[in-house]
Structure 1
């Protein structure tokens, strides 16, 4: 995470460059994390654990059904809503 005061002190072109770079690195890190999670689940299965995987359709249905709960939780404060919005963008 970048210090907001420092970032805001940069000229617009450099600020945009830092933000674009951070976004790119974050996407790469997210892909790496997902690959590592898949490997961890496969390792657990090899050890005899049962892993229940859900389809994208099931995941979408879950997101739809829980959306009102997240909306309600997000209405508690602007900070909470911002956090939920960021998480939703990751999905």
Structure 2
């Protein structure tokens, strides 16, 4: 019979708890990303800017919180939804 004592050991429980904590952190990050994506669409909608299906999909499938943050900031000032993705800000020369 195999020794199963590892599965009830303190080390085993610690490993499981680390996995649960990591899963919770990933879930919170995904929730923040979804919230930012939703906020981008809200801002664009409030500004009466049309959002094409492809643009909406690119926004809602992005999971990079910093990229979404940049898009959210841009969504307040762009003329079209697609401009939130561009690096088209005038460069300082």
Q: Which bin holds the TM-score, normalised by the shorter protein?
A: 0.3 to 0.5
Larger radius of gyration: 2
TM score, norm. by length of structure 1: 0.40
Q: Comparing both structures, which one devotes a greater share of its residues to helix?
A: 1
TM score, norm. by length of structure 2: 0.39
Could you say which structure has the greater relative contact order, defined with CA pairs below 8 angstroms and 6 or more residues apart?
Answer: 2
